[in-house]
Amino acid sequence: MASVAIMTVTSAMVAYVLQRRRSRWNGFVNFLVLSGLIIPPAVVPTIWVLQRLGLFRTMPGLILVEVAFGLAFCVLLFQAFIATIPRELDEAAVIDGAGPGRLFFRVIFPLLRPVIVTVVLVQSVFVYNDFVNPLYFLPGEQNATVQLTLYNFSSQFNTQYNLLFMDILLITIPPLIMFLAFNRQIVAGMTAGAVKG
């Protein structure tokens, strides 16, 4: 959940700056954000970087990888939603003496509630269901995540299908409950920034 919290706050701040501050770099930064969605991640260089930083096989290293892989999607969602918030709110807060940090966290961030719910739910399910990143960046049986427990019931010569399918069922229940409980908020957050009016 730390990766989802970091993703939510960081991407909201990045999207706010990209949407509100127009500069000659906006096009290039938007291109980089879109590249984060299109270009597939490179595993070996990421492992090298994590080893150099001393974060390979650690939970903070996996959290940073999850944040890096999910940030582009979150920035695009927040950016579309922030485009619907009138700039007059920013100007009124600045006239009242709010600095940049206070303007964002006291005025803009509370207005982002629908898209925050969407980002938190979608990214929570994505991080919870992630199989590949823990397999590569958090190896070892002592670090096994819930998705990696699927390996426990399959071997070269034998597969315990009854236990494997029970594990799959148990893994499926939490995301299913989240989507059923917050279905309306997810749809509202996804479509909130779709039409600028």
Q: What is the pTM of this model?
A: 0.84
Burial 97-114 (b: 16+ CB within 10 A, else e): ebeeeebbeebbbeebeb
Closest CA to 104 of 27, 26, 190, 14: 14
Q: Does the structure show a pLDDT above 60 at 197?
A: no
193: pLDDT confidence band, cut at 50, 70 and 90?
low
Q: Which fold has domain 2-192?
A: MetI-like fold (1.10.3720)
pLDDT digits (tens, 9 = 90+) for 43-83: 999 999 999 999 999 999 999 999 999 999 999 999 999 99
pLDDT digits (tens, 9 = 90+) for 20-45: 988 899 999 999 999 999 998 899 99
Per-residue pLDDT, 105: 96
CA–CA separation, 16 and 27 (whole Å): 15
Q: Does the structure show a pLDDT above 80 at 194?
A: no
pLDDT digits (tens, 9 = 90+) for 125-168: 999 989 899 999 988 877 778 888 888 788 888 888 998 899 89
